[in-house]
Amino acid sequence: MIDFSNLPVRNKTYAGANGSKISVIYNGEQYMLKFPSLPSRNREMSYTNGCISEYIGCHIFESVGIPVQKTLLGTYTKNGKKKIVVACKDFTATGLILQDFASLKNTMIDSMHNGYGTELSDILTTLEMQTAIDPPILIKWFWDIFIVDALIGNWDRHNGNWGFLYNNATDEIKLAPVYDCGSCLFPQASEEIMKNTLEDPEERNLRVFEIPLSGIKINGKKIRYFDFISSLQNTDCNQALKRILARIDLIKINKIIDETPFISDLQKTFYKTILKERKEHILNFSYEKLCKSKSSLSNEN
């Protein structure tokens, strides 16, 4: 168990609305220390499980081979109160500048929408028209993240929490590791909600087919992960589904959960069940549908 309470604190600050954050030095490296936020929906909870979600979500991204921020769980005590916190290694500590996708979207001078608008058609136009990153690489990256977010149930991936690392000295830009996964795996689910989800098939189905919605919109409405992915309407999304599904190893993911400190057996079972159900009913189902559609087309030809 890591105690982050008495580490050297840096003056660097971090934006974002999901909990308090400070910059600390741990083992000679700079980390952003994220504190649990107050629940906005479930008032029965003292704090959300956002730090746990951040840790597990990032490790799931890592398990499928997607570059992601390094995260560590530990505690922080102040005024006699101990909290579970997550330390996120600062990938800008070497002087690189984090530029979010919204800032890149703002460079599209002919766009009618602002950088933070999450209409899918506008996002896709930006991915194709921007010149900072080779478009096929950026399109692949976007959809790979989307598929993993579908697995882990991330409702808050928006244009402000994925992006690029910019080197001011060389004018070079590259993809930033995935970060900000604290809104996955139902961080506001209380013990009662977890128990009900495990016991009631309708509650499980709710958390597979209906919620959470994606932060991305079509015609002003947030996307349902199941509806969009299983529609097979986007070829790049279909390709990402094939790529990522082949890399998802539930045995490896369950090991991540089993080795996560601070969480109860109930939480472990809840997380494992949610991931298994979402993989089976969203990703596996959609992939099988995709294979059948290709087989049908092949037979017709």
243 in the same domain as 131: yes
Determine, yes or no, domain membership for 106: yes
Q: 124 and 251 share a domain?
A: yes
The answer on 278 and 142 residing in a single domain is yes
149 with 189, same domain: the answer is: yes
> CATH number, domain at 16?
3.30.200.120
pLDDT at 232: 98
Asked whether residue 83 is domain-assigned, the answer is yes
As a whole number, mean pLDDT of residues 13-40 equals 88
Q: Please, what's the b/e burial string for 11-30 (b: 16 or more CB within 10 A of its CB; e: otherwise)? A: eeeeeeebbebbbbebeeeb
Q: Mark whether 68 and 166 lie in a shared domain.
A: no
Residue 154 forms part of a structural domain: yes
Question: Are 30 and 120 contained in the same domain?
Answer: no
Q: Are 119 and 218 in contact (CB under 8 A)?
A: yes
Lowest mean pLDDT across 12-16, 87-91, 269-273: 12-16
Of 5-9, 25-29, 42-46, which range is least confident? 42-46
Whether residues 268 and 176 fall in one domain? yes
Q: Has residue 41 been placed in a domain?
A: yes
Residue ending a domain, choose from 89, 116, 134 = 89
Residue 216 lies in a domain: yes
Domain of 246: which CATH number? Answer: 1.10.1070.20
Work out how many domains the chain is built from and give that number: 2
User: Do 223 and 78 belong to one domain?
Assistant: no
Check: CB of residue 4 under 8 Å from CB of residue 23: no
Q: Distance between CA atoms of 71 and 92, rounded to whole angstroms? A: 15
Distance, in Å, from the CA atom of 94 to the CA atom of 172, rounded to the nearest integer, reads: 14
3-class DSSP assignment, residue 125 = helix
Least confident of 44-53, 239-248, 282-291: 44-53
pLDDT in tens, 141-175: 999 999 999 999 999 999 999 999 999 999 999 99
Whole-model pTM: value is 0.94
For residues 149 and 43, state if they share a domain: no
The answer on 119 and 53 residing in a single domain is: no
Q: Are residues 69 and 205 in the same domain?
A: no
**Tens digits of residue pLDDT in 176-205:** 999 999 999 999 999 999 999 999 999 999
Domain containing 25 equals 9-89
How far is residue 211 CA from its own chain's centroid? 15
Q: Is 2 inside any structural domain?
A: no
Residue 222 counted as domain residue: yes
| Per-residue three-class SS string for 86-108 | EEEECCCCCCCEEEEHHHHHCCC
Is the pLDDT assigned to residue 74 strictly greater than 80? yes
